[in-house]
Amino acid sequence: MPTAPLHWRAGLTGELSAGDQMNFVLGASVRYAPTDDWGSEWRAKMEVGNRFLASIEHRQALDPAGRWFLVPHGSWRSYPVRVESNGDPIAEFDVQEGELGADLLREIGDTWEARAGIVYRTGRSRLEIGDPTVNDGDSFDEGGGVLGIGCDSLDDLAFPSSGWLMNAEWFLPADAFHEGQDETVRFRIDKATRVGSGALTLGGELDTVVGDTTNVQSFFPLGGFLRLSGLSLEEISGPTAVLGRAVYTHPLGRRSLERKLFTWYGGASLETGNVFAEFGDIEWEDLRPSGSLFVGLDTLLGPVYVGFGLTDDGSQTAFLALGRQF
C-alpha cells in the first residue's frame, strides 16, 4: 500500500486574446499521486480552443528513493501554424499530430532533472490559407531520440521573486523511422530577482531547426502574453524563434506569512523577438519590440492575468491568461 494517501491535484490553463483576431485556449491538468510507495504518479492534460491537446503520462518510479523514473507518454494535438514573409502573413496550416514515447528520467537534487528517451510522431499538415502550388501540406512520420535537462528553483509558480527556470531539449531524428526529418534544439532560461518590494524576471528562448526545413510541423510559434504580447496567441511561426523578455511584478498589498485567498499584483513587461527561416538569419534590426501592462491575481486555484499588449508596428491585444507563465 502507498505510504501516503492518493490525491488529485488539478489546475486550469489558457489564454484569450483579442486584437486583429480572436484567439482562445482553455485547458486543465490533473496529477494523481502517489500510486505506489515509491512515489509513482499519473499526469494528464487537455486543451481546447484554437488548438486541441490531449496528453497522458505515467511516471513509474524505479527505485525506493524516487530518483529514477520510466515515463511512457502519449498525446494527440491539432494546432494552426501561421507563416509570415517580411512581416506579412502568407499561409496558414492545420497540423494534426499523434505522439508516443518513453523517457528514462533522473532527478538530481531538489531542482534538476535529466532525461533521455525515444519518440514517434505521425500526422498531417493541411493548407488552410495560401498558395497550394507552394506547399499544400503533407502527411508525415518521424521518430528518434530526445535528450533533455531542466532546472526549476523558482520560489513561486505564478509571481516568482527568486530562483531559476531552465529547460533544454535536443531531438535527434532516426532515418529508420523516416528520411528527411528535422533535427531540433530548444532552450529556455528565466532568472527571477527581488527588486525592492517587487520582482524582476529576465529570460529568453531560442528554438531552431538544425539545417533547412519545409516541414511546418517543426515550426516554432510566438505570440501571446509574455511571448510578444502585442500579437495574438501563437500568431507567427517559423523554423527558428528567438525571444527575450523582462517582466516586473509588484504586489498591490501587504505581504503576509499566511497564504491569502487572493493576492493582487501589478506588472509590466518588455519583450523582443521574431521568427526566422534559419538560425543564421537572426538580425537585431529584424526583432519586434513588444510589451504589456497587466494586473495579476494569485489565487488558491492558480494565477490569473488581465492586461494589454502592444508591438512596435501597432499590433495590439487585450488578453486574459490563466495558469503558470514561468
Render the burial of 283-299: b for 16+ CB within 10 Å, e for the rest.
eeeebbebbbebebbbe
Q: Are strands 316-322 and 7-18 parallel, antiparallel or unpaired?
A: antiparallel
State mean pLDDT over 2-31: 70
Cell of 2: 502507498
What confidence tier does 8 reach under pLDDT thresholds 50, 70, 90? low
Beta carbons within 8 Å of 59's beta carbon, 6+ residues apart: 40, 41, 42, 43, 69, 70, 71, 105
pLDDT at 20: 65
- CATH classification (class only), 61-322: mainly beta
Report how far apart, in Å, the C-alpha atoms of 249 and of each of 13, 310, 315 are. 20, 18, 23
Q: What is the pLDDT of residues 56-77, one digit of tens each?
A: 999 999 999 989 999 999 999 9
Residue 319 above 80 pLDDT? yes
Please give the mean pLDDT across all residues of the chain.
89
Q: What is the pTM of this model?
A: 0.90
Determine the 3-state secondary structure of 24 from DSSP. strand
Residue at 167: amino acid letter? N
pLDDT at 156: 87
pLDDT at 261: 66
What confidence tier does 3 reach under pLDDT thresholds 50, 70, 90? very low
Kindly tell me the burial class for residue 114, based on how many C-beta atoms sit within 10 Å of its own C-beta (0-12, 13-18, 19 or more).
Answer: middle
What confidence tier does 2 reach under pLDDT thresholds 50, 70, 90? very low
Question: Residue 218 gets which letter from DSSP?
Answer: G
State mean pLDDT over 228-244: 93
Q: What is the pLDDT of residues 120-138, one digit of tens each?
A: 999 999 988 887 656 767 8
Residue 212 above 80 pLDDT? no
List the chain domain ranges.
61-322
State mean pLDDT over 230-247: 94
